[in-house]
Structure 1
Amino acid sequence: MRKTIGRAAIVLVLLCSSVLVYKIVVKVNQKKECERITQALPSYTFNLAYGGTMHTKSLEDKPTAVMFFNPGCEHCEYEGEALSTNSGSLKEKEILMVSLSPRDSIKAYAKRHRLEGISNIRFATDSLAKATIMFGVQAIPTTFIYGSDGRLRKRFNGEVSIKALMRELR
């Protein structure tokens, strides 16, 4: 009886360990795939918060920031305020703000930070999290900076200062 319990315990430990190792390998592979995909601005069609769609092809040949945010996020609030204050210095750059939140929340954020109607700052909704998953976003805010050649220059996990944003968008 003791031998049977001991063997069952060993089998259970081995089984649990195997599942854990499998999950770790899958996660590492997913991360590598996201890193590979985002080395160049991925081909994707975003649903804009104010209606219509926008394909990433329209961002080609322009320095671009793709910023994943949440309207209720404190760090995202700081970023929104900084974008508003420095929007004149960013005229030649493209800013795409992407959120999982409903359109109304995104629009309220844009209005609160006086970002409505600024032609180079657009807001997109990612209600099904397809872009969030494709870009491998694990935390909000996360920002991807692409050069005019469409290649990834920098990924910021967490809040990014306006100074760093402008430096990387040069």
Structure 2
Amino acid sequence: MKTYTTPLLLYTGLLLSVILNKYYNISFLTPLILLIPLLFVDLKNLNLISKWSLGLLCTVPFIFFQDLYSTLNQLSIAFSEELFFRVYLMSFFSNFTTSILFTIPHILLYGDLHSFLVFLPSLIYGFVYQKTKSFILIAVLHFLSNVFYDKILLNSDIINSGFRL
């Protein structure tokens, strides 16, 4: 029987770290909490070598149209979020529940319509992870969608026209 104590405590810690980051600019806690599942997951289950992972990784060099710091930052965000939510939390909760849990910190941190829009990609990442069990695949998909969102959608007049909560 699975116990939900550890994932719920980690998730609560994540929410607290997001709030501390937003109001007190304490930003180092969130990445640390997102990486704690490395202590609990079997690294063999990350499926780091697969045809999907290797094929998608080949696209990464072509997206270095942004500066290196921004690229590494986006990669680390995608890696840590997918590790925490897909690999770790989805071993306890359904894809739908995990996607809700994924959306809540975004709403707390950003508080705009864009925050709600992460729910659908989260469902897609969860579905892809359920089908392929490839951690690298979903981390790179997450990274590519963040780059698309940041570089294409955020720079469009439609997205920038408002939508604050």
The two structures have a TM-score, normalised by structure 1, of 0.31
Q: Which has the higher helix share?
A: 2
Structure number with bigger Rg: 1
Q: Which has the higher strand share?
A: 1
